[in-house]
Structure 1
Amino acid sequence: MSQPVRAEPPRPAPQRPAVVVTGGGTGIGRATAHLFAKEGADVLVVGRQAGPLEETAAGHPAVRTFVQDITAPGGAAAVVAAALDAFGRIDVLVNNAGIIRPAMLGEVDWDRAHRQIATNLIAPLFLAQEAFPHMRPGAVIVNVTSNPAGKGWPGNCVYGSTKVALDFFTNTWAVELGGRGIRVVSVAPGVTDTPVLVHADLPAEERAARRRRYNARVPLGRTAQPEEIAWWIVQAARPEASYLTGSVLRVDGGIGVC
């Protein structure tokens, strides 16, 4: 006599990864949000202005927006609370927001220097500190950094120092959080086609001149596109990269080895 076939109980649908991207209104942040959403994640993009964030979210139902100055007191806690309210957890935190205000020594402005340090370094510190208690094993923090230590960058002593220090955060947090199963990685782009120099109030001619000088030095001979950097951010956060932590992935066209 044949045995009755038992129906398998329905399996719960896999959870969509919950991702937070700061500086999500333009450039690398926007491209990163779009790629995470394309790959099935729910994404919260964070920035100071509603307009650019709404442009990022337009046509992408999985992308939500949250307007917040991450350098403000309580800003990091507000971002984490918004993510938990939207998703119930945080699987990936992308510390992408950054500003640059070029100035040679002797011309460095106090307020502009402090704003760079607050945005590029202090905000990621407190975002990570607020986020990691709500992150499960397998979660990832990705810090978007820049130039390697040991090479001078005239006119960018403040900006460059914040990015080198952020790589040190990556190294240190990887050790501190490894026991919790949380990975920490830096993705360090070279010069990328984003509005960051526009926001630095550099004239168009100066921006073009800087781009020409850079492209003449980089082995690949060109500026990166935001999507090229976003690809590495998303790959670093994938489960298949589960043994990658404490590393700095330099996506700079080879200029870091020149």
Structure 2
Amino acid sequence: MTAPPASRRAPAPREGALRGRTVIVTGAGTGIGRAAAHQFADEGADVLAVGRSEGPLKETADGRTGIRVLTADVAAQDGPATIVDAALQSAGRVDVLVNNAGITRPAKLGGIDPALAREQIATNLLGPLFLAQVAVEHMREGGVIVNVTSNPPQRGWPGNSVYGATKVGLDFLTHTWARELAPSGIRVVSVAPGPTETPVLLHAGYTPQQVEARRSTSGKAIPLGRMGTPDEIAWWIVNAARPEAAYLTGAVIRVDGGTSIC
């Protein structure tokens, strides 16, 4: 077998390969979004950290000159345009979009509140869709969209039908956009975390005691025996967006401690 031409060989990782790139991270006030914003900034990227609460965003940006913050709701009608306009102030383009913002409002069928269901769909699915639609207008060849998703479609998730459906739907968008945008040289990837130590359940209204009980239960079902950390998930987000990952598109990268194989 002949070796591939030099232009197609996997490049060695380069320090500063993301330097100067404009990166949007939604849901950047806490958890995975904050960790991703930090790691992109540490790589030299110009990061726009987006969220609905100013206080947590300021904590994300504290001590890192490469992070700018924007208080905005991706689910609002003017949210996508507001976010992209703010990102363009840096370099007039968008290089990486991380669709991380997401909410969960657990309920079983028969007890699903219509307003809360619509809120999840707007934030988790429609928000990323319309933000990507605006952002790609300003992406060049080499641009990357990373959708942060969750559960695989083959397994049910009692009490989380709406949330799970939005995340499976976002993976479908990843597959579809990857094909649509490939001719433009823009890649699209999903990073699908398993149980991770984030405040998402507290934001959903769970008490600290309830969160701890779920943590204990989840740990027993994970082959690696523990929940993931935001930094571990963010590492995959950042590396999927690096130029060295140029042959990766349309993939769903499951970073779940083996949960999806059980």
Pick aligned residue for 1:48 from 41, 45, 52: 52
Displacement of 1:87? 2.7
Match of 2:11 in 1: none
What amino acid sits opposite 1:226 in the alignment? P
For residues 243 and 208 of structure 2, the distance between their equivalents in structure 1, rounded to whole angstroms, comes to 42
1:65 maps to which of 69, 86, 91: 69
* Structure 2 counterparts to residues 102-113 of structure 1, below 5 A: 102-113=106-117
Question: CA separation in 2, counterparts of 1:15 and 1:253?
Answer: 30
Match of 1:208 among 207, 212, 217: 212
CA distance in 1, matches of 2:116, 2:98: 24
Q: What's 1:173 paired with?
A: 177
1:212 & 1:153 partners in 2: Cα distance?
17
Among residues 192, 200, 203, which one is paired with 1:199 in the alignment? 203
1:239 alignment counterpart = 243
What TM-score, normalized by structure 2, do the two folds share?
0.92
Give the conservation status (yes or no) of the 8 Å contact 2:105–2:116: yes
Distance 1:15 1:224 in 2: 27
Q: Who is 2:166 aligned against? A: 162
Read off the aligned partner of 2:138 and give its amino acid letter: H
Tell me how many residue pairs correspond in the alignment: 245
* 1:30 to 2:34 alignment: yes
Contact 2:19 2:43 (8 Å CA) reproduced: no
* Whole-angstrom distance in 1 between the partners of 2:80 and 2:195: 27
Name the % identity.
62
Residue 206 of structure 1 and its aligned partner are, at CA, apart by: 1.7
1:181-192 → structure 2 map (5 Å cutoff): 181-192=185-196
What corresponds to 1:4 in structure 2? none
Cα offset, 1:211, TM superposition? 1.2
Tell me the secondary structure at the aligned position of residue 101 of structure 1: coil
What's the secondary structure of 1:76's corresponding residue? helix
**Does residue 151 of structure 2 align to residue 147 of structure 1?**
yes
> Is the 2:36–2:235 contact (alpha carbons within 8 Å) kept by the matching residues of 1?
yes
- C-alpha separation in 2, matches of 1:250 and 1:73: 31
Instruction: Name the SS for the 1:66 alignment partner.
Output: strand
Name the structure 2 match of 1:130: 134
Moved over 4 A (4+): none
**Alignment counterpart, residue 88 of structure 2, candidates 84, 89, 92:** 84
What SS does the corresponding residue of 2:47 show, helix, strand or coil?
A: strand
SS of aligned partner of 1:221: coil
Letter in 2 for 1:205: Q
- TM-score, normalisation: structure 1: 0.93
Structure 1 segments unaligned to the other structure (5+ residues): 1-13
> Which has the greater radius of gyration?
1
SS at match of 1:161: helix
- TM-fit CA distance, 1:98: 0.3
RMSD: 1.0
1:15: Cα distance to partner?
6.1
